[in-house]
Amino acid sequence: MSRFFVTTPIFYVNAKPHLGHAFTTILADSVSRFHALMGEETYFLTGTDEHGDKIVKASEAAGQSPKEYADQISALFRGLAPILGAKPNQFIRTTDPDHIKTVQKVLQKVYEAGDIYFGEYGGHYCFGCERFYTEKELVDGMCPDHKTKPEYIAEKNYFFRMSKYQGWLIEHINEHPEFIRPARYRNEVLSLLESGALEDLCISRPKSRLTWGIELPFDSDFVCYVWFDALLNYISALNYPRGERFKKFWPAANHIVAKDILKPHAVFWPTMLKAAGLQPYQSLNVHGYWLVRDTKMSKSLGNVVEPKRMVDTYGASAFRYFLLREMAFGSDASFTEEALVGRLNADLANDLGNLFNRALAMTHKYFEGKVPSPDKEFQEDAELKHLGLEAMQGFQANFGEFRTARALESLWELVRALNKYIDQTAPWTLFKNKQMARLGTVLYVVLEHMRKVAVHLWPVMPEASEKMLVQLGMPFEQEKIALPKEPEVWGVLESGVAVAQTSNLFPRVELPEPTPPAPKEATAPEAKKNKTDKPLPKEAPAPVCPAESIEFTDFQKLDLRVGTVLSAEKHPDADKLLVVQVSLGEEKPRQIVAGLADRFSPEELVGKQVVVVANLAPRKLRGFLSQGMVLVAKDAEVTRLLTAAGPVDDGGKVA
C-alpha cells in the first residue's frame, strides 16, 4: 500500500495560535484526508517547538518558568485542531522525553561521524530569529525579518559541517523537481546554494547564556540549537530508528511550511538527514503569508485574526473552505471578513446550497422524495457527465500537488454547470408536460453528480460533506470510497433511496453593520451662530466619481440575471415601493420589493425585461419579502430600467 506522511511545522510557543497556524493545520488535515480517500495509508503530524531564547524571554515576561509557559501555550495549539475540524494522528512536543532522546541520539551519531566539530565564531546574532547572520544576509545592517540590528556575539560553539553537503543538495534538488514546491521557492533555494560557499551551521548554545534546551550528549556545558532540535521532530515522532511508524512512513514525508522558514527546511534539514545516513523527505510545500487587508498581521496594529472567533461565527466548514479556496499555492493571500462572507454567500449558499435545495425539493415534489430511475440519456446529459469527469480529474490532480484553490475552482465548474443544467432542462416544465421518464433522468443526473461533489469535498469540509451525503440517502463510509475511480464511475446512488426534504447547510449570512460614529455636538458659540445667522446655502451635488477599484473575482460574486416582470402592485404601506413578481426561469417567480413607484406605474413595468441581482440576500422590506434587486440607471432627472438590447430567455446571465 502506498503511504503518505504530512506534517505542519511544529509551532513555536512564543505566541498564541493565529490565522497562519490555522491555515497550515487545515491544509495538512485536508491533504491527509484526500490521500486517505485516494487509497493511501496516511499519517498527519503536528505539535509545538518549545526551546530557545525567545521562550525564556516570553516566560519571564509572563512571570512563569519556561516549562510552565510552554505547557500553557502548547495546550492552546493542541486545542486548535478540534476547533478547525482537524484530526492529526499525533501531537508532538520538543519537551517530550522520547524526542529529547532522539535528538541526542542523532547528535551523537553525526558527532562520531566527524560532521560536528568545536570552534570559535563571531557573528551577528538576532534573538528574534535565534540565529547568526552573515554580513551579506543583513539588509542595511538589519535582520531582514525583524528589521532590528543584531547583536555581535563571539563565542566558542559546536558546528555542523553543512558545507560538506552543498554539492549533493544542489544535485538532489535538480534531479527531483517535486522536492521543493512551488518552483519559485525551489529556484530561490538553488540561487542561494549556487551564489557562494555554504557556511557550516552553529548548532549549540553555551549554558552560560542559555540553559533552556536539550543538552548535547558529548558536552554537558552546551545545549542544542533550537532548529537542529526542532527539525528532528519529523523522525522522532515516527520512533526513529527502529519504530514501525518510521519503517512505514519515512521517507514518504511531505512537509508544509510558510515561506519564512524555507531555508531551515530546504537547507538545514536535508543536509542533517544526509549526515545521519537517512534519505531526504519526499517534498517541501511552501505557502505564502496570510495578510489582513493586505497588511501583515501584528498585535500592535490590532489586526490578528483569531481562528476560534471565525469558526464560532461562520462554522468550521465555511472557514476551511474559504482559506483553502482563497490562497493560491505559494502566494500571499489577504483575509477580510467581508471576503469570507462574500465567498460563503456566492460559492456555498448561492451555488452549492441552492443546488442542494432545488434538487431535493424537486425530488420530493415529483418523485415522493425518492431517487428516480434514469431513462434514456440525451446529449445534454452526456455533455454534463463529460464536464463533470474533467472537473473531478482537475480537482484530484491539483489537490495532489497542494493546489487547493485551483482544485476547488475546478470542482465548482461542475457545481455551476449543475445549476445551469437544471435551468436548461426545466424539470418543472417536464413535469407540467408529463414527461416523467425524461424528468427522472434529469433529476438522477443531478443527484448522482451532487453525490460526487460531496465526496470530493470531504477533505475540505468533512462535517458538511458527511451531512450532504446523508441528505442524499448515503451515509459517509470512507472504506467504500475509491476517489480515483469517481470521475468515471456512474450509478452509485441507488434509485428508490429516500432523500432529505431540504438542505440548510449553507444559509446566507450578512456582516453586522458598523456602528456609525456619534455626531459631533456643536459648541455653545457655534450653536448660537447657527440660530442667528442666515441659513447656509445648500451645497452643490458632489460630482459622480469612479468607485473604488475591485478585482475581477469581486465582480464574479454578483449573479446578474435577466427576467420578465409578470406583475407589479403598489406596496400598501410605502408610497415609493412596488411589489414586483419577476420570472427568472426558475420554478417560481421572484418577489422583489423595489423603490420604483415614484418613477414607474405598475402597468408600465408588466411585461418589461429587467436585470436582477439574483444572489442578494433575501430580506423583509416593510413586511414583504424581497428576493433580489431590480437595477436601474439614473441621474438627477431620469430613471431608466436596465435591460438587454434585445429579448433574452428568462434567467439569462449577465457576464
Location of C-alpha cell 559541517: 161
Angle value at C-alpha 572, between 588 and 633, nearest 5 degrees: 65
> Residue 502, class by beta-carbon neighbours within 10 Å (0-12 exposed, 13-18 middle, 19+ buried)?
exposed
Using CA atoms, how far residue 217 sits from 105, 107, 443, in Å, is 8, 7, 69
Residues acting as catalytic residues: 18, 21, 126, 129, 143, 146, 296, 299
| Residue in 251, 155, 259, 260 with CA at minimum distance from that of residue 207 | 155
Q: Which of 592, 561, 597 is nearest to 577 (CA)?
A: 597
Count CB neighbours of 476 within 10 A. 16
Burial of 3 (0-12, 13-18, 19+ CB in 10 A): middle
DSSP-derived secondary structure letter, 482: -
Torsion 99-102-108-112 (CA) sign: negative
| H or E element at residue 258 | strand 253-258
Burial 366-384 (b: 16+ CB within 10 A, else e): bbebebbebeeeeeebeeb
Residue with cell 523522525: 235
Alpha carbons 183 and 189: distance in angstroms, whole number: 10
State how far Cα 121 lies from the chain centre. 43
* Cα-based torsion angle of the residue sequence 627, 628, 630, 635 in order, rounded to the nearest 10 degrees: 120
